[in-house]
Amino acid sequence: MSESDYASLKAKAISQPLVEHIYTADPSAHVFDGRIYIYPSHDIDAGIPFNDNGDHFGMQDYHVLSMDAPDSPATDHGVALHIKDVPWAERQMWAPDAARKGDKYYFYFPAKRADGIFQIGVATGDSPTGPFIPQPEPIQGSYSIDPAVFEDDDGSFYLYFGGIWGGQLQHYRDNQYNEQYQEPTAGGPALGPIVARLTDDMLEFDEDPVEIQILDQQGKPLLAGDTDRRFFEASWMHKYQGKYYFSYSTGDSHYICYATGDSPYGPFTYQGRILEPVVGWTTHHSICEVQGKWYLFYHDSILSGGVTHLRSVKMAEIHYDSQGRIQTLRPYQE
Ligand code: FUB
């Protein structure tokens, strides 16, 4: 696409970047004490050539953004955690999330160890904007990418995670790593996201992680070849009118989809798309209620002129119909 194509898409975009002085992606949004806090990846050009493993996503630190209200400017609170301060991590700080329990904040993040394997770490702080102090080791039994933390109504916290291809989930079965394991063939059930309840201190898994099933309307697992609907990465969980809404990216088909269920462990039944494809290969989101309205936080690569690893976080209101179905957003007006 030419520069003028991007200019015209920018004009048609339903929302503009929340910040433009740095590139940000993978926004996980929460409201703490009435203020919106966004935990994004901090995209940089690390000079690493593009490949299918996503090595060009060479992020090294995290910033936290915050806003008074959906139409207010976003504040960048600076570096909240840097890879040089994480003893076990070597590179690629990908999509994070955060939670509050009591008066402490817990920041969950994936990164690669020196041997190239992704794990998930946790860092703690006294403020929603950090700084966050990392635990010396990753969460025991954690693997793959894209942690998303969800607090249920009974006060239990769950960590959802996983992503195929560069996120390495295809190399795991029953929580065991084997490089020989690959994505199932097209006619087999797709790999599901993983969930584990967290311990009371929020620092470990309280149980063995389990794979979540995403079913079609007939109750059959989505197939690996069903790339328009199967799970790829970018888990998110929210609750709406008592139902659990699990949402995710379909990766190589570039949709944000959702599935609903009656338990934080699923199974979840596929319902439809939340967001049509954005500019850039990746799509990643969170959903958060702010002042009685619901918002999708997402990203695209318009500001960088389509550079897939230089993205900008955005937000747009979403709407449910009377059946609890989420209306699909088109990120650029026709
Ligand atoms: O930002 C790096 C990776 O790109 C994330 O972990 C994925 O979800 C995708 O957005």
ipTM (interface predicted TM): 0.98
Distance 303 CA to ligand 1 centre (A): 17
**H or E stretch covering 265:** none
Task: Provide mean pLDDT across the span 122-145.
Answer: 98
- pLDDT category at 3 given cuts 50, 70, 90 is confident
From atom 9 of ligand 1, which residue's Cα is the shortest distance away? Answer: 282
Fold observed for domain 3-327: Tachylectin-2; Chain A (2.115.10)
Percent of the chain whose pLDDT exceeds 70: 100
Task: Provide mean pLDDT across the span 210-224.
Answer: 98
Helix (H, G, I), strand (E, B) or coil at 83: helix
Write the CB contacts of 113 (distance below 8 Å, at least 6 apart in sequence): 88, 89, 90, 119, 138
Q: Is the Cβ–Cβ distance between 99 and 122 less than 8 Å?
A: no
Catalytic one of 26, 97, 211, 233 = 211
Q: Is the Cβ–Cβ distance between 100 and 32 less than 8 Å?
A: yes
Domain boundaries, the chain: 3-327
Computed over every residue of the chain, the mean pLDDT equals 97
Q: Is the pLDDT of residue 322 over 90?
A: yes
The model's pTM: 0.98
Inter-CA distances, 7 with 4, 12, 297, 311, Å: 5, 9, 22, 16
Q: Is the pLDDT of residue 84 over 90?
A: yes
- pLDDT category at 52 given cuts 50, 70, 90 is confident
Task: Provide mean pLDDT across the span 200-223.
Answer: 98
- pLDDT category at 4 given cuts 50, 70, 90 is confident
Q: Which of 50, 94, 252, 309 to mutate to test the pocket of ligand 1 (most atoms within 8 A of CB)?
A: 94
